Amino acid sequence: MSTALSYPTGFAAGDSLTLTTRGRRVLGAVAIVLASAVVLIGGRAVASAPTEAVAVDTYTVAAGESLWAIAADFTAPHEDVRDTVGDLVALNGLAGAGLRAGQQILVPAS
């Protein structure tokens, strides 16, 4: 005589999964913990310390001048001109390094 065991093979297409009372409570507790974590941690804004104020002068761009040439005039010998170009772009809120003749930009005071 052989005894065969039957194991469940899965859900049929029309079957649905139901949670027990304990399962619903656990799911609710997990949802509350996640929502609390988002509110407590996710809502904080992180700001960096204020930077030093920089004295600036207004500079009028001449015909044929590039931001690189202007930055080179204001870069110390041991510094990289690329850093100064980036500083000028950020200081003036420029979308890129393009300039036009007659445009006024802010440069570090000499």
Residue 34, in any domain of the structure: no
Residue 24, in any domain of the structure: no
Residue 44, in any domain of the structure: no
Residue 89, in any domain of the structure: yes
Residue 89: CATH number of its domain: 3.10.350.10
Of the ranges 12-16, 25-29, 46-50, 87-91, the best mean pLDDT one: 25-29
Query: Each residue of 56-103: pLDDT tens digit?
Result: 889 999 999 999 999 999 898 999 999 999 989 988 988 877 899 999
Instruction: Determine the structural domain holding residue 74 and report its residue range.
Output: 56-108
Residue 67, in any domain of the structure: yes
The tokens describing 8, both together, are: 């469940």
Are the C-beta atoms of residues 59 and 107 closer than 8 Å to each other?
yes
Per the structure, the count of domains in the chain is 1
The pLDDT of residue 98 is 84
For residue 14, what pLDDT band results from cuts at 50, 70 and 90? low
The continuous run of DSSP H or E covering 87 comes out as helix 81-92
Residue 91, in any domain of the structure: yes
Residue 10, in any domain of the structure: no
Task: Reduce the DSSP state of residue 86 to 3 states and report it.
Answer: helix
Sign of CA dihedral 9, 10, 11, 17: positive
Query: Each residue of 69-79: pLDDT tens digit?
Result: 999 998 989 99
DSSP 8-state code for residue 98: -
For residue 19, what pLDDT band results from cuts at 50, 70 and 90? confident
Mean pLDDT score of the chain: 84
Percent of the chain with pLDDT over 70: 82
Are the C-beta atoms of residues 88 and 75 closer than 8 Å to each other?
no
The tokens describing 41, both together, are: 């941690």
Residue 88, in any domain of the structure: yes
Half-sphere exposure of 96 (CA within 13 A, CB side): 3
